[in-house]
């Protein structure tokens, strides 16, 4: 994953609360290999009618080259499916701006270079009003956590760790492998203290269907 500092692109408003991950990508598309691209699945059942025809006035159909999405509270709530982030990223979205995000979605976003930028409800209201007349160019700066839209500059909230991760495009597996010695030492001490941390498989599992109830 490559890092980034600044992004400029067209912003589009999706004026809805609770845009959950089932809406971001309906489950039926999730058996597709990533290499096939997930962009076409993004918000599929809102963007397209039951015949697969694009809904003309749906924001992402009006501005198909948008790269910044502004929405309302609890964006990305629900399922942990990272495919919701793949759909956004493969469509071309680099930044989502909202008053709040689902915790798992936000962490999945950062793992894929997508910025979940938190701003206040009032700032979303103002941005939506600005975008009501049409898509506008915005500039998002990760280094000072600002969004420039028209004449206004909004500061967004982002965990410092996530800021660094997005800027540097860090890969966690590489980082973690630097701690291999600490991990091995921890494992030894952990298992010594609680041997059941390593499960002992009992051989006669077919009789294991004894009482499955607690009382």
Partner 1 sequence: MSARRLLDKLWESHEILRREDGTSLLWVDRHLVHEGSHHAFAKIVERGVPVAEPGLTFGVADHYAPTRGAPATDAIARMIATLAANTEKHGITCFGLDDPRQGIVHVIGPEQGLTLPGLLINCGDSHTSTHGAFGALAFGIGATEVAHVLATQTVWQKKPKAMRINVTGRLGPGVGAKDLALAWIAKLGADGARGHAIEYTGPAVRYLSMEGRMTLCNLSIEGGARFGMIAPDETTFAYVKGRPFAPSGDDWDRAVDLWSELPSDADAKFETEVTMDASEIAPIVTWGTTPEDALPVTATIPDPARMQGSAAERARNALDYMGLTPGRKLTEIAVDQVFIGSCTNARIEDLRAAAAVLAGRRAKVPGIVSPGSQLVKAHAEAEGLDRIFIDAGLDWVGSSCSMCVAMNGDLVEPGKRCASTTNRNFRGRQGRGARTHLMSPAMVAAAAVTGHLTDVRELLKEREVA
Binding site for partner 1 (CB under 8 A): 16-18, 20, 22-23, 26-28, 30-31, 33-34, 45, 50, 72-74, 77-83, 85, 100, 102-104, 107-108, 111-112, 159-161, 164, 172-173, 175-177, 179, 182-183, 186-187, 190, 194-202, 205-206, 208-215
Smaller CB distance to partner 1: residue 67 or 108? 108
What is the side-by-side strand order in the sheet with 146-149? 115-118, 95-98, 68-71, 6-14, 136-141, 146-149, 152-155
Distance CA 63, CA 136 (A): 10
Q: List the structure tokens of 211.
A: 């009482």
Minimum distance from residue 85 beta carbon to partner 1 (Å):
7
Q: What is the closest distance, in whole angstroms, from the C-beta atom of residue 108 to partner 1 in the complex?
A: 4
CA distance 90 to 42: 9
Residue 138, CA distances (Å) to 115, 121, 156, 205 in order: 14, 18, 13, 59
Q: How far is the CB of 59 from partner 1 (least distance, A)?
A: 15
Least distance CB 63 / partner 1 (angstroms): 21
């Amino acid at each position: 994953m490559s890092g980034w500092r600044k992004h400029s692109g067209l912003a589009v408003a999706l004026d809805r609360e609770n845009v959950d991950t089932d809406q971001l990508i309906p489950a039926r598309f999730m058996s597709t290999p990533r290499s096939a691209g997930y962009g076409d699945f993004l918000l599929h059942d809102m963007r397209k009618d039951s015949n697969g025809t694009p809904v003309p006035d749906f924001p992402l159909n009006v501005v198909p080259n948008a790269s910044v999405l502004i929405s309302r509270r609890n964006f990305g709530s629900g399922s942990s499916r990272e495919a919701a982030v793949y759909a956004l990223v493969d469509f071309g979205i680099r930044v989502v701006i909202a008053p709040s995000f689902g915790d798992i979605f936000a962490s999945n976003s950062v793992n894929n270079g997508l910025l979940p930028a938190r701003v206040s409800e009032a700032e979303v209201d103002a941005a939506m009003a600005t975008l009501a007349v049409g898509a506008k160019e915005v500039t998002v700066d990760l280094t000072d956590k600002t969004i420039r839209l028209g004449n206004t500059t909004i500061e967004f909230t982002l965990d410092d760790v996530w800021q660094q991760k997005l800027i540097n495009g860090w890969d966690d597996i590489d980082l973690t492998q630097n701690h291999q010695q600490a991990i091995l030492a921890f494992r030894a001490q952990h298992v010594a203290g609680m041997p059941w941390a390593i499960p002992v498989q009992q051989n006669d599992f077919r009789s294991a269907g004894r009482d499955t109830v607690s009382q």
